[in-house]
Amino acid sequence: MPTARTLAETYRRFGEVDAAGTLYERVAVALSESRDALRAVEAAPARKRNPVLVLAALHDLALAGRAPALAAAYAAGDGDAAARAAVDALLHLTDPVVDIVVRRRPRPDETGRSAVLYPAIAEAARRVGATSVGLVDVGCSAGFNLTVDRVGISYSDGRALGDPASPVRVSGRVVGGRSVPARPMPEVVARIGIDADPVDVTDADDARWLRACVPPDQAERRAALDAELALAASAPPLLVRGDAVEVLPDALARVPADALPVVTTTWALSGLSPEHRLRFLHRLDEAATGRPVAWVSAEGVGVAPAVPTFGDRRASGHSILGVAVFGHSTAHVEAVGRCWSRGRLLAWLADS
């Protein structure tokens, strides 16, 4: 268990390095300088004391109206007031903060992945000749990946995909010599999310937690999240709770028989052991005994089993976009591109 000094150093470093120049810099440093605040943090389990999670919990209470002074300081962009209010809120709301951090986990930026998913899903459907698809997203990003066909996507080379009238707009920068294929995605007839701890966008507490994970002074990210939440809530996906390997067959069985199941993973496999990743691959292969099954992956180099890596190093800083089609005891797996910044930068490399 970390000592109080170690905890103080963790919060100070987070403020001065990770959150430098933001409201959270003053807040995290203030927490690091308060013995009482650090004792309150120590009321949480050791693995739940990290600054990202505790600050999100405080933000959640502010958004819920339970820490009005902190909410007002965040709204005003006043770092000094926010620092004082955060310490006060942590001292007076220790139990609610601990309850939140025990139940929740940090949610990274889960918006904007459509720019890489859309062309890869359309490519998988083309290879099978599918006229409709059922999307099954693993690590389901609150269902945001499952609205990929309803998002308006624009690329730096002038191409556009998706719904031009969508309230959710995503842009992607294209690098390299090839444009992203312009073919449309077939009709989506099923939207299914798999997660050990799924977020239900129609649940007020779940939606507020996603907002709480966005630092209060990042207005552009907050606006993008609000748009994604509204879009996902307008046609909520079916959520399947559990281990992806175990529940994948059940999720795939829920896709209509005349549609191509397309499983998507976006930076979801790195938390699994290599053995578990191979079991996931075998599940896909087993599910394709009666009909084709496709898998679209955006994962770090070498993370997605069987997906080629172009010979890139694992620590290269980018991810590989893969398209796999399983069927009739065969599997065709190809790397179709590289991407950076969680899909906001894309190099399409496949022949189309």
Q: What is the DSSP string of 52-66?
A: HHHHHHHHHHHHTTS
Q: What's the predicted TM-score (pTM) here? A: 0.91
**Rounded CA separation 172/120 (Å):** 14
State the Cα angle at 342 between 133 and 303, rounded to 5°: 80
Bin 156: left if φ > 0, else alpha if -120 < ψ < 50, else beta: alpha
List the pLDDT tens digit at each of the 352 positions of the chain: 455 569 999 999 999 999 999 999 999 999 999 999 999 999 999 999 999 999 999 999 999 999 999 999 999 999 999 999 999 999 999 999 999 999 998 887 676 799 999 999 999 999 999 999 999 999 877 789 999 999 999 999 999 999 999 999 999 999 998 999 999 999 999 999 999 889 899 999 999 999 999 999 999 999 989 999 999 999 999 999 999 999 999 999 999 999 999 999 999 999 899 999 999 999 999 999 889 999 999 999 999 999 999 999 988 889 999 999 999 778 999 999 999 988 889 999 988 6
Neighbouring C-beta atoms of residue 45, cutoff 10 Å = 11
- pLDDT score at 189: 98
- pLDDT score at 1: 46
Instruction: Give me the half-sphere count of Cα atoms (radius 13 Å) on the Cβ side of residue 325.
Output: 17
DSSP 16: I
DSSP 312: -
- pLDDT score at 2: 52
Taking CA atoms, 340 is separated from 172, 270, 347, in Å, by: 10, 16, 9
CB 185 within 8 A of CB 121: yes
How far does Cα 182 stand from its chain's mean position? 25
Close Cβ partners of 344 (under 8 Å, ≥ 6 residues apart) = 112, 115, 171, 172, 173
- pLDDT score at 352: 67
**Rounded CA separation 1/67 (Å):** 29
What is the β-pairing status of strands 330-340 and 319-327?
antiparallel
Burial of residue 73, with CB atoms counted within 10 A of its CB: 0-12 exposed, 13-18 middle, 19 or more buried: buried
**In this structure, what is the dihedral angle of CA atoms 46, 48, 52, 57, given to the nearest 10 degrees?**
-130
How far does Cα 270 stand from its chain's mean position? 13
